[in-house]
Structure 1
């Protein structure tokens, strides 16, 4: 299984690198945003450099989880590719694990690129504690948003284009969160909404080392249950 898993990860990475739009929005655009926002507000306040560093990382994890796993796995079922994968030597599960591991590899890579950029451009050094917090953000965030993307995709299984609803959910998460600026300090309603959604608790883990156990546990369980419900309800031949 080890060789098959390695091949699945490598295959998914090759596919990712061949999609220029995906490479831009996952690897280049986050660095661009980090430099722009960091130069606007972080030159005179190193606190904001760390703030936007994890904000951009969380934004990338959210986008990758919602767009790069759920819709892809839906297409495997909707287009009948799952039947082809079932006939291959490795199991379908190996292929899906390879897909998820490839996304973790990409997100850890952008984490590293952001850390190098933070040091070279702003003189900010990511400590070991913050590295561990960032990796936890990546793992938990990818789990939550991947299952959320799966739930949204399988809820809309008969329609080929589900990027509209995923995009709507993505921007709700992003603009009610403290990813780019502590908007909750200026609007109590947005603060309440943002703290109930999953992005702010993940940001709190990375920035403060604290989190709401109840909220985080809810978002670790709820999307899985919703996805399982729609998966069982779908009438796609497996």
Structure 2
């Protein structure tokens, strides 16, 4: 019971800290709504609810990947490189409680963004997903958050301070514009052959009801976890 209370407070404090960063707040909450309205009005609208539904899941997948990639690994690495983990270890709160609170704060913000997307879709385009679709969306938030948080930890562990941002940006935007989040990508194109193995493509497909991509998505999660654990142990040995 105490652990749940401590993790809850940690998540609350992490959320308050995040809300003070205006740039992060914009890209996590306002930007997804802006893109949804922009593309929805230009290429969708009340006459094309099929595209609105297609776009809705694409924007949701984009938000999950963005929040988990940029909101977990870089923060954990910053704590390590600035020796703040040693400070946390000196407190009565276990380090894992702190990290769990950080992860839950990101998930809660994603869920809040999801609610905003639902309200926007319903009020502007009269689109509301079915209960089965909502279940898939929530499952996608949970699964995608874990997968991309682990991938973020893996990608930000090896380099020195600050040098991971360029690669994270490249990877995120490459996945975003090749996964079919906004438009369908030709399956015969060269880019599709690359994008078809990337996690965001599988996540967006899962959000759209393609449960056959569940195993590749879980595989990304497991491989990222094992790779991070091995690499982290190696860095600890050579430190």
User: What's the offset of the Cα at 1:82?
Assistant: 0.5
List gaps (5 residues or longer) in structure 1.
none
1:19-168 alignment runs, 5 A limit:
19-43=21-45, 44-156=47-159, 158-168=160-170
Paired residues of 1:176 and 1:194 also in contact (CA < 8 A): yes
In the alignment, what sits opposite 2:15?
13
Post-superposition Cα deviations, 1:15-66, rounded to whole Å, max 9, x if no partner, equal 1100000110000000000000000111131100011101011001111111
Q: Is the 8 A contact 1:77 1:236 kept in 2?
A: no
Instruction: Quote the Cα distance in structure 2 between the aligned partners of 1:129 and 1:71.
Output: 34
Contact 1:57–1:111 under 8 Å retained in 2? yes
Q: CA deviation at 1:104?
A: 0.6
Secondary structure class of the residue paired with 2:194: helix
Question: Match of 1:204, SS?
Answer: helix
Backbone CA RMSD of aligned residues: 1.7
Q: In 2 relative to 1, CA 165–236 (structure 1 residues): closer, same or farther, beyond 3 Å?
A: farther
Point out where structure 2 has 5 or more consecutive residues left out of the alignment. Answer: none
> 2:178, 2:195 within 8 Å by CA — same for their partners in 1?
yes
Q: Verify the 8 A CA contact 1:154 1:231 in the aligned structure 2.
A: yes
Whether contact under 8 Å (2:19, 2:25) holds in the other structure is yes
Matches of 1:59 and 1:47, distance apart in 2:
19
SS class of match (1:191) = helix
Q: For 1:212, what is the secondary structure of its paired residue?
A: helix
Cα distance in 2 for partners of 1:170, 1:95 equals 26
After superposing on structure 2, the runs of 4+ consecutive aligned residues of structure 1 that deviate more than 6 Å are none
Q: Which residue of 1 aligns with 2:208?
A: 207
SS at match of 1:234: helix
Answer yes or no: is the 8 Å Cα contact 1:202–1:211 preserved in 2. Answer: no
Normalization by structure 1: what TM-score? 0.94
**How many positions carry a matched residue from both structures?**
236
1:184-214 Cα distance to aligned partner (Å, 9 max, x none): 35x4322222221111221122112422344
Deviation at 1:180, TM superposition (A): 0.7
**TM-score normalised by structure 2 residue count:** 0.93
